[in-house]
Amino acid sequence: MTDQPSLQIEIVSPDGSVYAGPVAMVVAPGVEGELGILPHHEALVTLLAIGETRVRRLDGEWEHFATGIGYLQVLFDKVLCVVDQAE
């Protein structure tokens, strides 16, 4: 079995960590449109709009989260998504 590249993500709201773990892809609602983040993405900090944040797990299945405003940081294959609410 081949190791596939992955990202480590954490989605955090004031209530605590909503999701954390290795994923293949992150799709988040940026203020200027949807953002797709894959492994080895350039470092980035951006604002997030209200919308749906999706993560594709390593098994290929998608997890969906309704997220509020916040920011997203990408650094060294680690993604931090800090939002005012998530479910």
The total of structural domains in the chain comes to 1
- 2 occurs within a structural domain: no
Among residues 68, 78, 83, 71, which one has the least CA distance to residue 23? 78
Q: Are strands 16-30 and 51-57 parallel, antiparallel or unpaired?
A: antiparallel
Q: What is the CATH number of the domain that holds 17?
A: 2.60.15.10
**17: pLDDT confidence band, cut at 50, 70 and 90?**
very high
Please state, in angstroms and as integers, the Cα–Cα distance from residue 73 to each residue in 22, 60, 81, following that order.
16, 23, 7
**42: pLDDT confidence band, cut at 50, 70 and 90?**
very high
Q: Torsion over CA of 76, 59, 27 and 22, rounded to 10 degrees?
A: -30
What residues make up the domain containing 24?
7-83
pLDDT average, residue stretch 53-57: 99
- 1 occurs within a structural domain: no
CB 10 within 8 A of CB 19: yes
